[in-house]
């Protein structure tokens, strides 16, 4: 069986980028099974691309090919790569930090820098759409069986890929600390990077209240006691809650409201969270 292909980009559906990329891929092999993972990554947000890849990859069949293109450096010296994860997935992407989360969590078994001659031949005069001309093209050639993984390029040490700064978490005295790592943009929930097992190991249960402090650049922007529960509906409509999200990390929501909007909370390395009794 040919591997499935999943596309992850920041292109949106407003113009022809997705259509033309799929056209190239289907021209190479009309039988390819191509799924739109998401094309709504925020513009140029490599961190979000890395997270969404990590968020969804484990739920796809082993061998699935992920073509992940959030590429503000398109046409520059940044590398195009193909990565084979230790658990058997393939990612074709710019080497600009997109592989950060899977390198840290799943691990990369092998990585290759794409050969420069591997691109849609009719587009050699343009350097602004590598998603279509290189990554989509190479992904289709590989998934169709026309190229092996080894034929995609020269291998190099996975330790040499570009990584974004990692976010830390842990326990310090009576405090659990971490970062706000991503949001759920449609509902305004905010997810931390604190594994829920760390919360349980510290003695908390889903009937407790926890004291939450959120800082942005060391300035306190949120500080109050929240019920720690299994779901949003455990509190009245309009009330905030700390809960266990689908990736088993601590997250924050407002029942049928937006935690991010109401409290003006975002995510990233400048957003820190602390949990106390």
**Domain final residue pick, 132, 160, 188:** 160
Note whether residue 165 is domain-resident: no
Mean pLDDT along residues 117-121? 97
Q: Classify burial at 215, counting beta carbons within 10 Å of its beta carbon; exposed 0-12, middle 13-18, buried 19 or more.
A: middle
pLDDT at 108: 98
Q: Does the pLDDT value for residue 200 go beyond 90?
A: yes
Asked if residue 191 and residue 148 are part of one domain, the reply reads: no
Q: Does the pLDDT value for residue 190 go beyond 90?
A: yes
Note whether residue 231 is domain-resident: yes
**Separation between Cα atoms, residue 127 and residue 180, nearest integer Å:** 35
Backbone φ and ψ for 101, nearest 5 degrees, come out as -70, -40
- Determine what percent of the chain is predicted with pLDDT higher than 90: 98
Asked if residue 212 and residue 79 are part of one domain, the reply reads: no
What 8-state DSSP symbol labels residue 134? I
Closest by CA position to 48, among listed 185, 168, 186, 218: 185
Note whether residue 32 is domain-resident: yes
Q: Write down the mean pLDDT value for the chain.
A: 97
Note whether residue 237 is domain-resident: yes
Mean pLDDT along residues 173-194? 96
How many CA atoms, within 13 angstroms, populate the side-chain half-sphere of residue 272? 14
Note whether residue 54 is domain-resident: yes
Asked if residue 110 and residue 46 are part of one domain, the reply reads: yes
**Domain final residue pick, 160, 183, 206:** 160
Asked if residue 265 and residue 135 are part of one domain, the reply reads: no
Are 254 and 239 a contacting pair, CB within 8 Å?
yes
Mean pLDDT along residues 24-28? 98
Dihedral of CA 250/98/134/109: which sign? negative
Contact partners, residue 23, CB within 8 Å, separation at least 6:
none
Note whether residue 236 is domain-resident: yes
pLDDT at 173: 84
CATH at residue 81:
3.40.50.10790
Q: Which domain holds residue 92?
A: 5-160
- Helix (H) / strand (E) element for 177: namely strand 175-184
CA dihedral 139, 84, 181, 162 (to 10 degrees): -90
Closest by CA position to 160, among listed 115, 114, 108: 108
**Domain final residue pick, 107, 141, 160:** 160
Task: Give the model's confidence band at 262: pLDDT under 50 very low, under 70 low, under 90 confident, else very high.
Answer: very high
- Note the pTM of the prediction, 2 decimals: 0.95
Asked if residue 207 and residue 127 are part of one domain, the reply reads: no
**Separation between Cα atoms, residue 72 and residue 113, nearest integer Å:** 19
Asked if residue 192 and residue 101 are part of one domain, the reply reads: no
Q: Listing from the earlier edge strand, what are the strands of the sheet with 90-94? A: 34-38, 5-9, 65-69, 90-94, 80-85, 108-114, 153-156
Note whether residue 34 is domain-resident: yes
Q: Does the pLDDT value for residue 97 go beyond 90?
A: yes
Mean pLDDT along residues 190-207? 97
**Separation between Cα atoms, residue 165 and residue 47, nearest integer Å:** 10
CATH at residue 176:
2.40.30.90
Note whether residue 179 is domain-resident: yes
Opening angle at CA 110, ends 120 and 71, nearest 5: 45
Backbone φ and ψ for 107, nearest 5 degrees, come out as 90, 145
Asked if residue 174 and residue 239 are part of one domain, the reply reads: yes
Asked if residue 133 and residue 55 are part of one domain, the reply reads: yes
- Determine what percent of the chain is predicted with pLDDT higher than 70: 100
Number of domains in the chain: 2
Asked if residue 111 and residue 187 are part of one domain, the reply reads: no
Asked if residue 151 and residue 126 are part of one domain, the reply reads: yes
Q: Does the pLDDT value for residue 174 go beyond 90?
A: no
Q: Does the pLDDT value for residue 161 go beyond 90?
A: yes
Asked if residue 44 and residue 23 are part of one domain, the reply reads: yes
Mean pLDDT along residues 232-249? 97
Asked if residue 232 and residue 190 are part of one domain, the reply reads: yes
Closest by CA position to 251, among listed 223, 273, 233, 225: 273
């Amino acid at each position: 069986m040919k591997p499935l292909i999943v596309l992850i980009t920041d292109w949106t559906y407003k113009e022809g980028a997705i259509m033309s990329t799929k056209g190239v891929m289907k021209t190479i092999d009309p039988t390819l099974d191509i799924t739109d993972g998401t094309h709504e990554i925020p513009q140029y947000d490599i961190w979000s691309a890395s997270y969404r890849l990590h968020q969804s990859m484990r739920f796809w069949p082993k061998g699935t090919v992920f073509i992940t293109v959030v590429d503000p450096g398109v046409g520059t010296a940044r590398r195009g790569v193909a990565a084979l994860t230790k658990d058997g997935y393939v990612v074709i992407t710019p080497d600009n930090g997109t592989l950060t989360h899977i390198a840290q969590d799943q691990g990369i078994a092998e990585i290759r820098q794409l050969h420069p001659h591997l691109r849609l031949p009719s587009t050699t005069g343009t350097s602004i759409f590598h998603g279509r001309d290189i990554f989509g093209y190479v992904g289709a050639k590989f998934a169709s069986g026309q190229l092996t993984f080894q034929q995609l390029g020269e291998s190099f040490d996975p330790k040499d890929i570009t990584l974004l700064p990692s976010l830390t978490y842990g326990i310090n005295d009576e405090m659990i600390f971490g970062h706000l790592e991503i949001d759920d943009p449609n509902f305004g929930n905010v997810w931390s990077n604190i594994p829920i097992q760390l919360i349980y190991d510290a003695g908390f249960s889903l009937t407790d209240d926890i004291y939450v402090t959120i800082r942005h650049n060391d300035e306190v922007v949120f500080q109050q006691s929240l019920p720690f529960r299994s779901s949003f509906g455990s509190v009245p409509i309009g009330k905030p809650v700390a809960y266990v999200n689908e990736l088993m990390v601590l997250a924050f929501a407002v029942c049928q409201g937006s935690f991010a909007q109401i409290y003006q909370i975002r995510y990233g390395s400048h957003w820190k969270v602390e949990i106390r009794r």
